[in-house]
Amino acid sequence: MSHFQVMSDLYNGLFLIQCSNPEVSVNYTMWNRIKSGLPQHYVMPDPKMLTILKQMK
C-alpha cells in the first residue's frame, strides 16, 4: 500500500459536518479506497442513523 500523504481536507465532502484541518495528513490510497467503497452521496455520520439515534433518547 502506498504511503503517499495528502491534506485531509481533500475528503471533507465525505462528512456531514465539514471542518478544515490543513495540518492533518492522511494516506491517499487508503482514503480513496474508503471513498470508492461508499454509496454515492453518502456522508458520515449517516443522517438517517442520526435521526434514529435521536429518537431513542
Residue 1: its pLDDT value, please? Answer: 59
Helix (H, G, I), strand (E, B) or coil at 27: strand
Which residue has cell 504511503?
3
d(CA 31, CA 10): 10
pLDDT at 57: 81
Count of positions (residues) in the chain? 57
From first to last of its 57 residues, what are the pLDDT tens digits of the chain?
568 999 999 999 999 999 999 999 999 999 999 999 999 989 998 899 899 999 998
Listed residue (9, 3, 11) closest to 38, CA to CA: 11
Q: Which residue has the cell 431513542?
A: 56
pLDDT at 55: 94
Q: What is the reported pTM? A: 0.73
- Quick one: CA dihedral 20, 24, 28, 34, positive or negative? negative
